[in-house]
Chain A
Amino acid sequence: MTQTKSPVARIFIYIVLALFTIYNILPFGWTIMNSVKLPKDANARTPRFVFSPTGENYADLWLNVSPEKFAPYGLALILIVFVLIVIGLSAKRIPAPNSLVYIGCIFAGIIVAVALPRVVNTAEFYDYLINSVIVTVGTLCVSLSIGALAGYGLARFRHVVSVYILVIALAFRSLPSLALVLPFYYLGQLSGLYDTHILLIFCLVAVNQPFTIWMLRSFFMEIPREIEEAAMIDGAGRLRSFVSVIVPIMWPGIITTGLFTLLLAYNDFLLARILTQINWTLPVGIAQFTGGEDPGHVTLAAAASVSTTLPILVVIIFFQKYLIRGLASGAVKG
C-alpha cells in the first residue's frame, strides 16, 4: 500500500517498531543478565543493570565438579568441537566423499558427547540436554521421512481418498494432545516403555504427523509433474525418481517443515512431562525451577533458560528465511 511521505509519521513508525522490538527481546536480555549475576544482585529490590558478572551459575548448572578442575577438559572440548566444525565446513576440499566426512564428524561428536560425563562429573542438566537432542533428532528423522513420502503421494494422487486423509489429518491436528498422551501413558506403564525415549518419540511423531504431511504436500504441489515424468520416461521407477529427482529440489521445503518439527519436539513440555520419570528433557528440567523460594533459584533458572534457548536461537537465526517463508506460505494458502 501507499507508504507515507511525512517524515514525522515515518519517525513515529520507526519508534513504535523499535519499542515493539525491545518488548520482544528485553525479557531474554534481562535473563542473560540474571544468568551471570550473583544471587544478591539478582534478588535486589530494584533491577540492577550494572553488576560484576560471574560464571558460577553456569558451572553450578552443568557441573558437579569445581570449574577449576573442569577447565582443562573444557578447553579440550571447545578445541574438539571447533576442529569438527572446521572439518565439516571444509568437507568439499577434503579428498573423500562429502557424506563420509559429515558422517564421520557426527559420529565423532556423538562419541565426545557420550564420553564427556564419564570423564568429568557433569550435572543432571547435561543429561536433560542429551535426552532433548535424542528425542528431537529421532522425531525429526521419523517424522520427515514418512511425512515426505506421504506428502508426495497426496500431492500426486488426485482422488477422493487423498481428500479424506487430509481432512482427517486436519482434524487430528486440532486435538488437545492430552487425549492422546494419557492412553500413551497408560500403555507405557503396562508395557514398560514408560520413561523411554522411544515412547516419547512415537508420541511426538504422531502429534506432528498431520501438520507435516499438510505442509510437505503444499510444497510438493509447487513442483511440476513434468520433472519426474521425464525421469520416469528415462526408465526410473516412482521411488527412484522420487529419491533422486524430487527430493534434491525439495530441500528448502523439507528444511522449512523440519524447522517447525524441531520447534515442536524441542519445545514440548506436556508430553515429556507425562511420559518421563527421570529421563527428563530440557523443558521438564527447567520447570523444576518454577516454584522455589531459594534465592539462588533465580540465577540458576536464568542460566538454565539461556542454556536451553541459545541452541534453538542459533538454529533459527541460521535458517531464519526458511521459517519466515514457511509462515508466509502457510498463510497464502490459508
Chain B
Amino acid sequence: MNKGSFAFFVGPSVFVMLALMTLPLLASIVLGLHFITFRNLDEPLWVGLRNYEEVLGDPEFWDSLEFTILFIIAAVPLRIVLGLMFALLLDQITRFRGLFIAAALVPFVMTPVVGTLIFRDMFDRGGPYWYWMQQLFDYRMFMNSTTVPILIVFHSIWTATPFAMIVLFAGLQTLPQESLEAARVDGATWLRQLWHIAIPHLRSLFVFIGLISIMDAYRVFDSVFVLTQQNPIYDAETIMYYNFQVALSFGRLGKANAMSVLTVLGIFVVLIPFLVITYRDQVEES
C-alpha cells in the first residue's frame, strides 16, 4: 500500500480522533485554567493554576482517590482469580459449557446502570439475598458506609468475572498440546500441569485482563452513582464520581477540568510502560 491510499483509508479516522479527542483534551487543559460556572459560560475568567491548587488542597479529592485505589486493589485481583478458577472448572467438563458461558454473559452485557439497580435490589430490605443472609447467618444488612463500598466491589466482580473467565478459558484451549502430552506421559498431576504449563502460557492474558480491569476500575462511575443514590453519607465516592459532582452538581466546570487533567496524568503513569512495550512489539512486527 502506498502513502496516498494509506492517507485515504486512515484519514477519516485520524481526523475524528484529532478533532474529537485531541482537541477536547487540549480544550480541557485550557478550561482548567479558568474559573467557569453555569453563569459565566461564555466569558470564562482566567485564574491560572488556582484550580489545580484548589483540587490538590481539597480533602474530598484525596478521599475519592484513596477510595478508587482501594477499589482497584480489592476488585482487580479477585476478578482475575475467580475468572481463572471458573475457567479451569469449565475446562474440566465437556457438557453444558455453552450454557454456562451464555449465562455468564448476562451480567457482562447488561447495561451497568440497570445491572447495579437490580444487584442492589437483591441486597435491599426484602430482597432474596437480604432475606437469606438473615435466615442463614442471622445478619440483617443495612445500607451504610461499610456495606455500600463492599457492594460496589461485589458488583464489579459480578460483572467482570465472566469477562476474565471467557478470556482465560479461550487461552486454556490454546495450550501447547505437545507439552501437555509430555507431562501426561511423565505422570505429572493436574496441579503441576497448571503450575508449569498453563500459568506461564496464560501470563500475557493476565497482563491483558489486569490492564483492562485497572483502566475500567479507575473510571468506575455508573455503579457508584446508583449504589450511593448520590448520597454522601455512604462515603463511597470514586474519583470519576467526585469529578462529575464538581462539574455538574457544584457547577465548577473549570475546577472539574483541572481535576480530569490530573486523572489523565494519573492513568498515564500506570500506562506508560505498557505503551512502550506495545510500541516495541509493533515496530518488530512491521
Contacts and interface: CB of A to CB of B under 8 A. Distances in A.
A322 B103 CA distance: 16
B90 A182 contact: no
Contact of A27 (B24, B121, B230): B121
Interface residues of B, number: 111
Nearest to A145: B12
7 contacts: A1-B190, A20-B100, A21-B100, A173-B215, A176-B219, A238-B8, A327-B167
B233 interface: no
Interface in A264-318: 266-267, 269-270, 274, 282-283, 286-287, 289-291, 298, 301-302, 304-305, 308-309, 312-313, 316-317
Given A167-B278, A238-B5, A269-B225, 15 more contacts: A3-B91, A24-B106, A27-B122, A45-B125, A149-B13, A157-B1, A161-B6, A180-B21, A186-B31, A205-B16, A205-B20, A238-B1, A283-B113, A286-B111, A320-B102
B100 A183 contact: no
B27 A183 contact: yes
Interface in B105-141: 105-107, 109-115, 117-119, 121-122, 125-128, 131
Contact of A176 (B105, B119, B240): B240
Interface residues of A, number: 109
A83 interface: no
Nearest to A298: B121
A interface majority secondary structure: helix
B104 A1 contact: no
B260 A17 contact: no
Interface of B: 1, 3, 5-6, 8-10, 12-14, 16-17, 20-21, 23-25, 27-28, 31, 36, 41-42, 86, 88-94, 96, 99-107, 109-115, 117-119, 121-122, 125-128, 131, 158, 162-163, 166-168, 170-172, 174-175, 180, 184, 190, 193-194, 197-198, 204-205, 207-208, 215, 218-219, 221-222, 225-226, 229-231, 240, 243-244, 247-248, 253, 256-257, 260-261, 263-264, 267-268, 271, 275, 278-279, 282-283, 286
A146 B17 CA distance: 11
A40 B1 CA distance: 68
A332 B170 CA distance: 8
Contacts of A327: 163, 166-167, 170
